[in-house]
Structure 1
Amino acid sequence: MAKSVDDDMKTLSVRRLRAARSSLSSLAATLQDEIGDLAFNNYRTYADVGNTADLCNEMFCSMSATTSELKDVVPELFHRIKKFYVDSERVAQELGLLKKAAAKENPLWDLFTLPNVMEKCIRAGHYDSAYSLTNYATQLAQMNLTKNPVVLTIVDTLNASRHGLLDELFSKFLGPIDLSTGILVVNNIRKIPSISPTQLRVTILQYRDMYLEKQIIALFGQPGFLQHAIEVYRECMYETMVLYLAVFPENDFMRRFDMIQDPRWVQWQLASQNVVLQQWAYRNLNRLFDLIREAERKCPVDISNVVAKLMTFAFSFGRMGLDFRTIIVSEVDSILKVSFEARVNKATLTLANKAGIIGYVDIPKHEAIAEVSLEINQWDALCVYGNEVLRALNDLRPNLAMIQTLKKSFRTILTWLDRLMAKDKVQMAKKAATLFIKCFIPYVRKNLYTFFAYETSFRKVSGSAVSKASFESHFNLLKEDLFLGCVQKEFFMELYRSLEPEEKSTTVSIEGMDFGESEC
């Protein structure tokens, strides 16, 4: 009973407690009067009332102590109740927003699907739609809607997809592409502000390089590799240059530049905007020539067929202002020179390593230069060397560098013979030197005059720039500088001086020869 009363007292407010206190005071006064009447009329009842009064006094003392404790707790309780009210309002508001967001008709669900839509647009080739989605993401960021973490995540995803869009657009240049498709792709790339014009030009050419390299790798090991490689280079470079000149017109840039040019100031002359394209083309040409050199090192190449294809290649680009026929001539001459020098050096080393063969050498029976040089057949190693030199000359175009190569080879052989004379094979070495100087070198020179005649090979090219005397002086394979550094120089010079009258008569006979109009 007492506990129930205490619980009821704890739930009462202060106002009600005060009202109850006033009411109890009135009731207490009335009770005192009634107690007095009871005490007078009935003592037993008076005693019960006294006990009841003591119990009530004890109860009210306990209530007073409890009320004092509540005075300290009430402010904190009031603060917590107010905070609970604010939190409940916020929770209710967020719950309402969550219900709205979870509704099927909420446009937020469409926002969540934008990354997937972006990916589908890129894969399907709808580049305009994909670019519109990236613009929409930019607008969301400009409207400060990215304060919402959900919107920020979507915007970041769309911006990251822009790189995928660029990769997809540039990957179109990794294969064959027609002009209309290429222009459409470039126009779509230009819409993306993070790509500068120069970066766009360079990147397109880089992707075309990857496409070209992929085709060349696929051709490795196939028969007719060089011919197919030249054709692949021609098709890919022609396609690339047509596309490049169509989407990057140089005259448009120069016209816009002229509008802002101030004639009152001296300005630097700007480089052509197609200089990137020209450098790209020349670099690919150098790579093509590297392939030709590599193939030439592995096995002999039909250089005439290669030159014909290269000239056709160059003619296709001449109308675009990129005529590289002179480069082809220079590179082919360089390739032939290296090949000729390698073959002659190999033959020279082969001859110099067969010293024992000199034992079969005999001195020619007559001093005149043989027409077919039958005496040379007495030295088998020299015949092998001479045949290899003649084969190399047959494959060589007119090239002045071949004389230096032959002289270097002759000097090596004479140095080798000079060393042999210092040993116990003096007589055989002298016989070999006599055969080499008096028979072999004049025979090779006569073949040179036949292969590369002045009238047919040089005069048509150089005109009067090179005189016949200069031509003959340059083609003179036997000079005193061949014997420099030799111990037996005097012996070699004696052979050389004995040959001079015969050289003059040979020169006269060569001058009277009719070489015809055919070219070597």
Structure 2
Amino acid sequence: MSAPLLKSLFPNEESEEWTFNNQNREYLTKLGTYKIKNLKNEPDRLKQEALIVQDQIQELAITNYKTFIETALCSQELFFKFGVIEEKVNDLLEDVPKFEKSCENFATTSGEINVLRKTDSTTLAKSAQILEILEIPQLMNSFIRDGLYEDALELCNYVRKLHSKHSDVPLFKTINDDVNKVWILMLHQLLSQLRQDLSLPKCLQIVGHLRRMEIFSEPELRLKFLQARSHWLEQQLNSLSRDDLIVHLTKTVEITRVNLFNILTQYTAIFNDDEHSPLTVSQSKTTNQNIIFKSWLQHRLSYFLVTLDEDLSTATSFETIFDQCMYFGFSFRKVGCDFRPWIIPIFTKHIHQNFVNSVTTADRNFMRNIEKFTLIDKKTPSIPWKHNKDDEIRPPDNLLEFYPLAEYINNILNALNQLRLCPPIALITEVVETLEASMVLIAKSLQKLYSQEQQAFSVNSKDAFTRLCMCFSDDLLPFVQKCIHIIYPPSHIATKLGVSVKVLQEESITFLNKDDIVAPISHSLPVRIEPDLTVETN
């Protein structure tokens, strides 16, 4: 009802404010109750009321103009402030996502820090136990330096168990790596101790530690043990002075024998080989570990034999050294390594060489003396002294008339005396052949002397040369033969060879061939009539 009325009252003005204003709606309702008279007076009343309101407004404005001005200024300022606030709000809306992201980052970081804080708190509470774990490598090093290998082994096993149980923890891996580095130091210390002079209990202890370390297999451990003990033996041998090779050889024999026997005892006690025990299926597929020691022992004995061969080159007396070496070889018979058959050829070679050198020296001295010797105007000497003819090993006195022969027989006796102390039966033929060659050379020298001086020979000189040849043939040569039979008795040699003495003589074993020796001077010897020993038969 009010809407049509408003439209009829205000045809040109239509506003929702008029339609929906409650005051307007109440006024229109009240207006609908007026009579016509009141309706006619209503515009005047409204005008008068409007004038009164206007006057009141003017009076109010005049009275409160300052307030209005302040209100206007305040409104203006409020408008400006609201603009600033709007800009700030826009900026805030733009920064809110960044702030939200920063808050999320802060929450994440603070969460990680909180986890670290809890870890640090736990670490602080367990600091004593952690410190003990961190000090394990240092403690391991201290054990090893102090020689407490049992404690070091137990500590290392403890660390390895920790590492295997907590393999995901980097700390245990680092500690395990550090302990392994110190572990290598312990290995070097144990091996270096094996290169020193050790008693059997100490050897057992060191090898026991190496076994527990489980670095070497059983064959490798045996090789390491033998290498270390070889180093100790070589140190002892290298410390010997080589100024006197005979003294060096004597000490080498003693040191090698004693140390090899000690190493043998230690090896047998530690590894307990039983070469006679039957092989099991597993053993047959692996290396025969007993061969390791035997091969090593043969190597050490070969090295000893090389040293023996080198040092014997200057030896002149072999008896004492030979006895020591044979005792050395005999002592290793129990371990199945009797190397005496290897020693004999070496001594035989050097004894032969020494004998040949001595005979060669005798030959050179004779040649030098015979060049100065002359038979011109030689007279029959008078020898005032005589020796007991029963003394078989004293040279004939007739040799004193001719000093080259006397000096020659002395040199030959020196060579035979050296040979007599240690005469190898294997050298019988070489000794006889060497002496035969030497005396053939002497006979040729005598023949050369005769050829050079025969034109100047007087009767006395010729007689002297004849005596010289006879002295060589009838005195010197039989005496040398006698000396050979003293060193090598024919009956003894015949027994060894299982033949008769007659066979020895026929084969020229221990017997000089007199005819070949005196052949160069046979024309200067007087003709001898041998008795007829044949027996007629009827």
Q: Same fold (TM over 0.5)?
A: yes
| Per-residue deviation, 1:412 | 9.4
Larger radius of gyration: 2
Query: SS state of the match for residue 455, structure 1?
Result: helix
| Per-residue deviation, 1:383 | 6.0
CA contact (8 A) 1:310 1:328 kept: yes
| Per-residue deviation, 1:319 | 2.6
| Per-residue deviation, 1:64 | 2.9
Q: Which residue of 1 aligns with 2:173?
A: 152
TM-score (norm 1): 0.67
CA contact (8 A) 1:119 1:161 kept: yes
Per-residue CA deviations over 1:289-316 (Å, capped at 9, x if unaligned) read 4444444445545x32223333333333
Give, in whole Å, the separation in 1 of the partners of 2:454 and 2:182: 81
Q: Which residue of 1 aligns with 2:50?
A: none
| Per-residue deviation, 1:219 | 4.4
- Structure 1 residues 398, 117: CA separation in 2 closer, same or farther (over 3 Å shift)? same
TM-score (norm 2): 0.65
| Per-residue deviation, 1:388 | 5.5
- Structure 1 residues 447, 180: CA separation in 2 closer, same or farther (over 3 Å shift)? same
Q: 2:294 aligns with which of 273, 278, 282?
A: 278
| Per-residue deviation, 1:120 | 3.6
Give, in whole Å, the separation in 1 of the partners of 2:335 and 2:59: 136
Give, in whole Å, the separation in 2 of the partners of 1:358 and 1:75: 130
Q: Which residue of 2 aligns with 1:243?
A: 266
Give, in whole Å, the separation in 2 of the partners of 1:99 and 1:253: 67
- Structure 1 residues 371, 183: CA separation in 2 closer, same or farther (over 3 Å shift)? same
Give, in whole Å, the separation in 2 of the partners of 1:378 and 1:349: 11
Bigger mean CA offset, 214-223 vs 136-145 = 214-223
- Cα RMSD over matched residues? 5.0
| Per-residue deviation, 1:226 | 4.2
Q: Which residue of 1 aligns with 2:332?
A: 317
| Per-residue deviation, 1:200 | 1.0
AA of the residue aligned to 1:82: E
- Structure 1 residues 189, 285: CA separation in 2 closer, same or farther (over 3 Å shift)? same
Would you say how many aligned residue pairs link Structure 1 and Structure 2?
443
CA contact (8 A) 1:360 1:379 kept: no
* 1:164-313 → structure 2 map (5 Å cutoff): 164-220=185-241, 225-251=248-274, 254-255=277-278, 257-259=279-281, 273-298=289-314, 300-301=316-317, 303-313=318-328
AA of the residue aligned to 1:286: S
| Per-residue deviation, 1:470 | 6.9
- Structure 1 residues 132, 335: CA separation in 2 closer, same or farther (over 3 Å shift)? farther
Give, in whole Å, the separation in 1 of the partners of 2:86 and 2:435: 131
| Per-residue deviation, 1:241 | 1.1
Per-residue CA deviations over 1:423-448 (Å, capped at 9, x if unaligned) read x99727999x9899968777655533
- Structure 1 residues 221, 382: CA separation in 2 closer, same or farther (over 3 Å shift)? closer
Per-residue CA deviations over 1:181-218 (Å, capped at 9, x if unaligned) read 43343333222222111111111111212222233344
CA contact (8 A) 1:337 1:402 kept: no
Per-residue CA deviations over 1:395-448 (Å, capped at 9, x if unaligned) read 5522544754885798699899999x99x99727999x9899968777655533
Query: SS state of the match for residue 323, structure 1?
Result: coil
Give, in whole Å, the separation in 2 of the partners of 1:123 and 1:395: 56
Give, in whole Å, the separation in 1 of the partners of 2:126 and 2:523: 111
AA of the residue aligned to 1:307: F
Q: Which residue of 1 aligns with 2:373?
A: 360
CA contact (8 A) 2:365 2:408 kept: no
Give, in whole Å, the separation in 2 of the partners of 1:460 and 1:113: 81
Give, in whole Å, the separation in 1 of the partners of 2:218 and 2:276: 11
Q: Which residue of 1 aligns with 2:347?
A: 332
Give, in whole Å, the separation in 2 of the partners of 1:164 and 1:59: 82
Query: SS state of the match for residue 187, structure 1?
Result: helix
AA of the residue aligned to 1:230: V
Give, in whole Å, the separation in 2 of the partners of 1:197 and 1:454: 57
Bigger mean CA offset, 123-132 vs 370-379 = 370-379
Segments of 5+ residues of structure 2 without an aligned counterpart are: 1-56, 381-394, 456-464, 531-538
* 1:359-378 → structure 2 map (5 Å cutoff): 359-362=372-375, 374=399, 377-378=403-404
- Structure 1 residues 382, 234: CA separation in 2 closer, same or farther (over 3 Å shift)? closer
Query: SS state of the match for residue 472, structure 1?
Result: coil
CA contact (8 A) 1:38 1:46 kept: no
Q: 1:398 aligns with which of 418, 424, 446?
A: 424
CA contact (8 A) 2:428 2:509 kept: no
Instruction: Give the share of equivalent positions with the same residue, in percent.
Output: 20
Q: Which residue of 1 aligns with 2:4?
A: none
CA contact (8 A) 2:144 2:152 kept: yes
- Structure 1 residues 373, 247: CA separation in 2 closer, same or farther (over 3 Å shift)? farther
CA contact (8 A) 1:100 1:106 kept: no
Per-residue CA deviations over 1:440-474 (Å, capped at 9, x if unaligned) read 77765553333223323x34544449952476257
Segments of 5+ residues of structure 1 without an aligned counterpart are: 1-34, 262-266, 483-491, 506-520
**Residue 452 (1) aligns with residue 488 (2):** yes
Give, in whole Å, the separation in 2 of the partners of 1:459 and 1:279: 40
Give, in whole Å, the separation in 2 of the partners of 1:283 and 1:321: 15
